[in-house]
Amino acid sequence: MSVPRFIRVEPKFDTFLNTTRPPDLIAHGFTWTEGPVWLDGALYFNDIPNKRMMRWTEATGAQVALENSEFANGNTLDLAGQMVSCEHGGRRVIRRTDPHDAAAVEVVADRFEGKRLNSPNDVIVRSDGSIWFTDPPYGINSDVEGYSAESEIGGCYVFCATPDGGLHAVATDFEKPNGLAFSPDESRLYVADSGAIKGASFPGIDYELPHHIRVFDVNGTGLTNSRVFAVVAPGVPDGFRVDQEGFVWTSALDGVHCLSPEGALIGKIWLPQQTSNLCFGGADGRTMFITSSDKVYRVESSRRDASHVLSQCERNT
């Protein structure tokens, strides 16, 4: 059955979502959607291969917000409520002072030790203003989601850009680091490794390679005590969010998996195509927006994002 639906594993799953109403398809007709973020009463998301950013509201539907997004992928908000984006094409992390103007940007990071980054993928902001992001090779593997090129830094790292302008490689042993998020108290950092993906745009999965989420203890810009939090299958974990009680909502080949703070599967939002990411937004910050292949879905929930940055921005909309 290919109709979007909910799969309950634990009874509490029914208290997290409105499971009486199937996931609502709110936008479609794209190529590969990513980077959902709620800003100024609208949902923004990227259609990566078409190099454009979209803006959706209930009244207008999905419209083009930015014609040339340079293959932007992950988006988030900074402490001032401005959008922070990862550009595959530009091989950089930027702050958008106007999400409708491709030139209205400030560069957060584009080089590490003098060498160009690979293709920054996903990004989060900590409550101290530091910006954390992953840098896998998807934007340089081909011309589908960026521009084909060799890696200059020779690895795929997790970085932290500090408010003083420093850039620190905080984890260097990932195959392909992808989505990331902090626990509610920011004492732990979760990072997806989608190393099992063969090539660009999910042409296949090699389950002998990483398809899990790791978690670290956080001390300043230092990460310690690395361990596997959860293995995600089918497919790989891509983007994900942590809610206010520490439950992890991660993308997978079959939709969104809800994991307990201990990593146990609580339930699934089953979708018929590979899912890339999600965010919490809406007027009260409790609506879940999901980017899934060429579509975007909406699910009503009782959850809010654990991020103090995003929660504050949602309250201000």
Burial 150-161 (b: 16+ CB within 10 A, else e): ebebeebbbbbb
Domains of the chain: 5-315 (2.120.10.30)
Element (H, E) at 16: helix 13-16
At residue 77, the pLDDT reads 97
Retrieve residue 249's tokens. Answer: 């909502």
Burial 207-235 (b: 16+ CB within 10 A, else e): eeebbbbbbbebeebebeeeeebbebbeb
Written as one letter, the residue type at 28 is H
Matching residue, tokens 């900590």: 126
At residue 2, the pLDDT reads 83
pLDDT tens per residue, the chain (317 residues)? 589 999 999 999 999 999 999 999 999 999 999 999 999 999 999 999 999 999 999 999 999 999 999 999 999 999 999 999 999 999 999 999 999 999 999 999 999 999 999 999 999 999 999 999 999 999 999 999 999 999 999 999 999 999 999 999 999 999 999 999 999 999 999 999 999 987 555 568 999 999 999 999 999 999 999 999 999 999 999 999 999 999 999 999 999 999 999 999 999 999 999 999 999 999 999 999 999 999 999 999 999 999 867 665 554 44
CB 287 within 8 A of CB 299: yes
At residue 309, the pLDDT reads 72
At residue 41, the pLDDT reads 97
| Alpha-carbon span 277 to 95, nearest angstrom | 20
| Alpha-carbon span 113 to 115, nearest angstrom | 6
At residue 315, the pLDDT reads 45
Of 297, 245, 229, 241, nearest in space to 269 by CA: 297
The answer, yes or no, to whether the previous bond of 234 is cis (omega within 30 of 0) is yes
Retrieve residue 21's tokens. Answer: 């109403």
Task: For the chain, give percent helix, strand, coil, nearest 5.
Answer: 5, 45, 50
